[in-house]
Amino acid sequence: MKLIVAVVQDKDGARLLDALVERGFRATKLATTGGFLREGNTTVLVGTEDDAVEDVLAVIRAVCRPRQHVVSLPSGTGVDAYTSYPIEVQVGGATVFVLDVVRFERV
C-alpha cells in the first residue's frame, strides 16, 4: 500500500477531492502553508493500493494547473532593508510524494 501526499494550490483542492472521490479513492484534505510564499495551499492525502498509484497521479495531473505568482522579496540590508522587489514564480501543478505504508488499519 502507498500513501500519496500531494501539495496543490487552494484553487485546485476542491476539484481534486471531487475527482478522486468520484473515481472511488479515499482522500483527506489538509489546510497547509507553503514555506516560501507563506500562502495557504492544500495538501491531499490518498491511501491506495500500489497498482492504483498511477491512476491517482493521472487524476492529479488532469486537475492541477501551474500558475504564475508574483511575490515581493526584501532587497537586502541597511538602506535597502525597507524596499522590496517583485519576482515571479511558477507554482504547481502539484508537488507529489509517494510513500510506502508499513501498516494500515481502520478500527
Q: Catalog residues that contact ligand 2BA under the rule CB under 6 A.
A: 7, 34-37, 41, 89-92, 95
- Smallest distance from ligand 2BA to CB 36, Å: 3
Whole-angstrom Cα Rg for the chain: 17
Q: Supply 50's cell numbers.
A: 500500489
Could you tell me if 94 and 65 are in contact, meaning their C-beta atoms sit under 8 angstroms apart?
no
Q: Which residue is nearest to ligand 2BA (CB)?
A: 34
Nearer to ligand 2BA, 22 or 30 (CB): 30
Total residue count of the chain as it appears in this document: 107
C-beta of 49 vs 85, nearer to ligand 2BA: 85
Closest distance of CB 97 from ligand 2BA, Å: 8
| Cα distance between residue 20 and residue 59, in whole Å | 7
